[in-house]
Amino acid sequence: MIGGALSRHGLWLDPRTKILLLLLCILSAMMAPSLFYELGLVVLIGLLGICFGKWKYAWKGVLFYALIVLLTFWIMDTMTGTWRTMFIAFLGLFHKVYPCGMLSGIVISTTKVSEFLSAMNRIHAPQKLVIPLAVMLRYIPTIQEDWRFIKDAMRMRDVSPSLKGLLTHPGITVECIYVPLMMAASKAADELSIASITRGIENPKPRTCLVQIHIGLMDIAAVFCFAGALVVGLYGKGALG
């Protein structure tokens, strides 16, 4: 695989490019002059997700955020007093965090640990930074898999793993979700740490990787798109505010 290329599974970007895109996204979200700009940023992230082959994730993420934007406008127009202040404060934080979280989901789901380690080795990143991040990349999918097993077990006990189930049977829902999830999370962390050490993650020698890691045209194009979004947010406040 060549850096910044199109594969049968969709776009492939260098892990270093993905980290840079995350930084640009964080800055863009912080400097966002309006809700319309933030919606445009989420649409841009959705388009990137589609290029990666994450169609379902992308359109669901964009649609959900569009509904939140409509809810925000409705609250601003109809509510007053303490309730309005409380909801606006919460939604203001949500609008800043959501684009970064959505892009992080795409990055984590499309980045293999071996590719990430190889890319970090290229930039001579310190092991104290690389090892926790590498474990995290494998940790989150493992917890998602455990969560699916927990939901299946809850359905066998006629407990709904949903908001409705939490409201109707809060005690048993919390017991069936949080206790197994905390135990699974603790066990997964220990197992992944041991597996990483066994596979030589602390080895200071240069790592080998089947994937050819380097910056390509697609990487440059993606960075220009997100950098352009940041520039629009910085200098387009009058037009977008």
pLDDT in tens, 113-143: 778 878 888 888 887 887 777 777 777 777 7
Q: Both 133 and 90 in a single domain?
A: no
Question: How many CB atoms are closer than 10 A to CB 8?
Answer: 5
Residue 136 maps to a domain: yes
Q: Does residue 191 sit in the same domain as residue 222?
A: no
Tell me which of 33-47, 60-74, 94-108, 154-168 is least confident.
Answer: 154-168
Q: Quick check: is 190 in a domain?
A: yes
Residue listed under structure tokens 């993905």: 18
Alpha-carbon Rg for the chain, nearest whole angstrom, is 21
Residues 99 and 21 in one domain: yes
Q: How far is it, in rounded angstroms, from Cα 103 to Cα 21?
A: 8
How many whole angstroms separate alpha carbon 181 and alpha carbon 103?
25
Q: Are 46 and 59 in contact (CB under 8 A)?
A: yes
Question: Is 221 among the domain residues?
Answer: yes
In this prediction, residue 146 carries a pLDDT of 81
Does 154 share its domain with 227? no
Per-residue pLDDT tens over the stretch 152-178 = 888 887 777 777 777 777 777 777 777
Cα dist. 29→43, 153, 191, 205, 229 in Å? Answer: 13, 39, 35, 38, 10
> Looking at the structure, do residues 130 and 95 belong to the same domain, yes or no?
no
Is the residue at 117 inside a domain?
no
Say if 119 falls within a structural domain. Answer: no
- Encoding tokens for residue 199? 């596979």
Q: How far apart are CA 36 and CA 227, in angstroms?
A: 18
Residues 175 and 238 in one domain: no
In this predicted structure, the answer to whether residue 6 has a pLDDT above a threshold of 70 is no
**Shared-domain flag, residues 178 and 234:** no
Classify residue 11 by its DSSP letter.
E
Pair 50, 38: CB distance under 8 Å = no
Residue 226 lies in a domain: yes
Indicate the range of 23-27, 92-96, 184-188 predicted with least confidence: 184-188
Work out the pLDDT band at 46, boundaries 50, 70, 90. very high
Residues 6 or more apart in contact with residue 168 via CB below 8 angstroms: 160
Q: Bridge-partner residues for 6, per DSSP? A: 11
- The pair phi, psi for residue 168, each rounded to 5°, is -85, -40
18 CB burial (10 A radius; 0-12, 13-18, 19+): buried
Say yes or no: 174 and 149 in one domain.
Answer: yes
Tell me: do 51 and 103 sit in the same domain. yes
Assess if residue 240 is contained within a domain.
Answer: yes
Percent of the chain residues topping a pLDDT of 70: 88
Same domain flag for 215 and 180: no
Domain tally for the chain?
2
pTM of the model: 0.76
Same domain, 67 and 156: no
For residue 53, is pLDDT > 60? yes
The answer to whether residues 107 and 216 belong to one domain is yes
* Structural domain containing residue 99: 1-112+211-241
Tell me whether residue 118 is in a domain. Answer: no
